Amino acid sequence: MGYRVAVVGATGAVGREIIKTLAEREFPVREIIALASGRSVGQQISFGEDTVLTVKALDAFDFKGTDIALFSPGAAVSAVHAPRAAAAGCVVIDNTSQFRMEPGVPLVVPEVNPQALRAFARRNIIANPNCSTIQMVLALKPLHDIARVKRVVVSTYQSVSGAGKEAMDELWSQTRAMFVNEMPPPEQFPKQIAFNCIPQIDVFMDDGATKEEWKMAVETRKILDPDIQVIATCVRVPVFIGHAEAVHVEFEGQITEAEARAAWRAMPGVTLLDTREDGGYTTPAESAGEDSVYVSRLRRDRTVPHGLAFWCVADNLRKGAALNAVQIAEALDREELLKRPA
């Protein structure tokens, strides 16, 4: 028998991708329930080829008897309903920022720190990392195993889908408006996003960093190594799907380019596509719809004793969100950390 699974925030971009990914990967589902806010109740979402889900109200849903709930409704909603689900005996996999840095809540990328999953029973909640963190730590992990990462300087180029469907709609409407000279004022972003780049994702903190930049630093340390230092500059770019990162890494010891290439080739979830010729790299557009984190533009950083630089891209809705959440559920099942219904 399969599990009774709830998807919270089912009508959002990530929620829909979670439902799609569960079907594509044939996760053992006995019953799946789509949950969202009251304004979405009654909408229909396809699950696989033959099943149509009718969205139910989250506020009125009783999680008792539900085995797994994959949350992606926004942090404020998760703050209220994830503990309610966990208290009912449901294992929560939360894709928001609400629980990531809380003690007793594992922050997991299954290919990187699967051992952390065993701590989930303390709270019955597992946190999915930030999308930009996921792809970076996946690329860093095999290198860290060779020479230990000391410091990371990263600039991100993040698509608008990371801010939700309304943000994607704003990029589309502004792009269209540009050609008729009727640019509407920005609503989802602090400045115009069409044909522009915005060096702000999330709110500013006291030290001048944005919260997105802070997330990349603290989450990397929680997932990979508490001694790693990270400085990030996170930029929103006019791309619909796919995040890119320019990553400069300083290591404690020697690591060669050949060693890095071999490590990436052996790393699950990473694809090395790097030839030193025109077009010999992967772009965000090419990552859309793909499960892998793509690495290219590898070269030595000669400004530090032991340094490498590289470029990585990934579909932020898949590996950066939905796929990673589903892989967490798969790992729980595979490691028999969940009680399968009889």
Active site residues per annotation? 131, 243
Is the CB of residue 272 less than 8 Å from the CB of residue 265? yes
Q: Crossing angle, helix 211-223 and helix 131-147, to 10 degrees?
A: 40
Cβ pair 126, 109 in contact under 8 A: no
CA 36/CA 13 separation, integer angstroms: 12
Q: What is the layout of strands, in order, in the sheet containing 125-127?
A: 56-57, 29-36, 3-8, 68-71, 91-94, 125-127
Q: How many other C-beta atoms can be found within 10 angstroms of the C-beta atom of residue 36?
A: 23
| Strands 270-272, 229-236: pairing kind | unpaired
On whether the CB atoms of residues 288 and 319 are closer than 8 A, the answer is no
Give the integer Cα–Cα distance in Å for 217 and 230.
5
Residue corresponding to tokens 């030595």: 300
d(CA 252, CA 261) in angstroms, rounded, equals 18
Q: What are phi and psi of 58, to 5 degrees?
A: -65, -45
